[in-house]
Structures are given as structure tokens and as C-alpha cells.
Structure 1
Amino acid sequence: MSLKRTVVHTAQRWLVNPLGRKLPVTMLETTGRKSGLPRHTAIGGRRVGDAFWLVSEHGEHSDYVKNIKANPKVRLRVRDTWRDGTAVLLPDDDPIARLRQLPGGNSAAVRLLGTDLLTIRIDLA
């Protein structure tokens, strides 16, 4: 694992995600691929119609992406409302171009901190 990814992963695990669980930020719930338990990750992105778009900064190295690969059924909390959805990994999508369509602050952080960008679309039920 690269030093950059290790530092970012540690900060997200111990600071960003615990705060995100308490704040009204967008939260992705996946099912742990080993434990079968719900796993929550604070994410940034944008809803467009019946889909939510985001870019994973560490691509297939992210635990939530590994969970999606094992089970694409997810839940998404936007503000205080949870919605069921199905996550689709889009390795052929241009993540830099996609970030230009998503909220600027989060997109800048993903570009700065990311090591292996991957676009994800969540089709909402």
C-alpha cells in the first residue's frame, strides 16, 4: 500500500467516517464482505435523476469498493433519508471528467488525495 493511501485511509477511518456518522453528510452503507455487517462510509457526489454518482479516490483498493464487488446492494443516506440502491463500478468512465460534474470541494479533495480513481454509479430504487 502506498504511503499516500495509508495516510488517507487512516484519516478517513479514524476521523472522517466517525464524524460523518454523526453529521448530515452523504453516507454509503455497504455489507461487509467478510463480516456480513453494515459498513458506513462518508462519501461525496451528486444525485442526477434516479442515480447517485461518485468517484472513489482509491478505486478497487477501497474497502467499500471491495464490499460492493462482493454485494452491489447498498443504501445511501442523503441528508436524513435512506434509499436502497445498486452500485455499479464503471472502470471505463473517465473519473477526472466525472469529477468536473460533481461538487467542487469534494472533487478537489478526491483529485488531491486519490491514488487510483474509479467512478461509481448508484442506481436508486
Structure 2
Amino acid sequence: MSGAKVTKFFQKRVANPFMRRNPLQTLLETTGRTSGQPRRTPLGGKLVGHQFWFVSEFGDKSQYVRNIKADPRVRVRLRGTWRSGTAHLLPEDDARARLRGLPQFNSLGVRAFGTNLLTVRVDLD
């Protein structure tokens, strides 16, 4: 099994279910593109004014990025409070440079395991 497959398996089966239960964990909620059901993904990022910035480690291969392409309306849980917004995929942004301005713990993992970095900005309502 490749490193990317091991990482995806660990995130999907171990880390994400645990982290979703943490009331202070930042979550991104998208709408499933085929199911229409809410899909919640733990992630790290940074609130800057009325925008939430983060970097997807698997880019357009991430399920939540595929969901954003189908419907950019999302919700983000920040410090236990849900906020609605519109997500924008920014392939022209330098994702590695962006990571330097985001929380170090999450950025370390994204840099270490990421195979197709993609910056995402959520404009919050």
C-alpha cells in the first residue's frame, strides 16, 4: 500500500471519526454530490477576517473538494460555532507558501503527506 493510501485509510477510518467528536475541532461541512447528505471533514486552517483559509492535501482527489465543485455552499465549525459560507478553490495560489501562514501542527501533516496541494478559501456570510 502506498504512503498516500495508508494516509487516506488512517484519516478515514481512525483520525476523522475521532476528531469529528471533538467539539472544538474545526470541521468543514459539504453536501455530498451524489447523496445530498451533509459530509463533515476535520481540518486545520485559519480565520482571517471573514474568510477561512486551508490547504487540501489531496487537492481535487479529496472527496470534499469534489463536493465543493458540485456545490460551493459550505459550513465551517470554528471553536464550536457553525458559520455558513461559499468555498473557492484556488489552484493559482502557492499552497506551500500558504501553509507557512496556517497553524503549524496541521500544516506539518499536510506538507508531509500531501500529494496534490490545493488552497481553499471560504468566504463566510
Structure 2 residue aligned with 1:64: 64
Please identify, of 2-11 and 73-82, the stretch whose mean Cα deviation from structure 2 is larger.
2-11
Structure 1 residue aligned with 2:98: 98
Structure 2 residue aligned with 1:5: 4
Look up the SS of the partner of 1:29 in the other structure.
strand
Alignment of 1:102-113 (within 5 A): 102-113=102-113
TM-score by length of 1: 0.96
Q: Is the 1:87–1:120 contact (alpha carbons within 8 Å) kept by the matching residues of 2?
A: yes
Let me know the Cα RMSD of the aligned residues: 1.0
* 2:33 counterpart letter in structure 1: R
Structure 2 residue aligned with 1:20: 19
Q: Is the 1:25–1:79 contact (alpha carbons within 8 Å) kept by the matching residues of 2?
A: yes
Between the aligned residues of both structures, percent identity stands at: 55
Note the C-alpha offset of 1:16.
1.7
1:81 aligns with 2:81: yes
Q: Is the 1:26–1:42 contact (alpha carbons within 8 Å) kept by the matching residues of 2?
A: yes
TM-score by length of 2: 0.96
Q: Is the 1:45–1:103 contact (alpha carbons within 8 Å) kept by the matching residues of 2?
A: yes
Separation in structure 1 between the aligned mates of residue 86 and residue 8 of structure 2, nearest angstrom:
24
Separation in structure 1 between the aligned mates of residue 54 and residue 111 of structure 2, nearest angstrom:
12
- Per-residue CA shift, 1:17-44, capped at 9, x if unaligned? 1112110210000000010000000010
Structure 1 residue aligned with 2:120: 120
Q: Which runs of 5 or more residues in structure 1 are unaligned?
A: none
Look up the SS of the partner of 2:65 in the other structure.
helix
Separation in structure 2 between the aligned mates of residue 54 and residue 4 of structure 1, nearest angstrom:
22
Q: Is the 1:17–1:40 contact (alpha carbons within 8 Å) kept by the matching residues of 2?
A: no
Separation in structure 2 between the aligned mates of residue 18 and residue 71 of structure 1, nearest angstrom:
23
Q: Which runs of 5 or more residues in structure 2 are unaligned?
A: none
Q: Is the 1:31–1:74 contact (alpha carbons within 8 Å) kept by the matching residues of 2?
A: yes
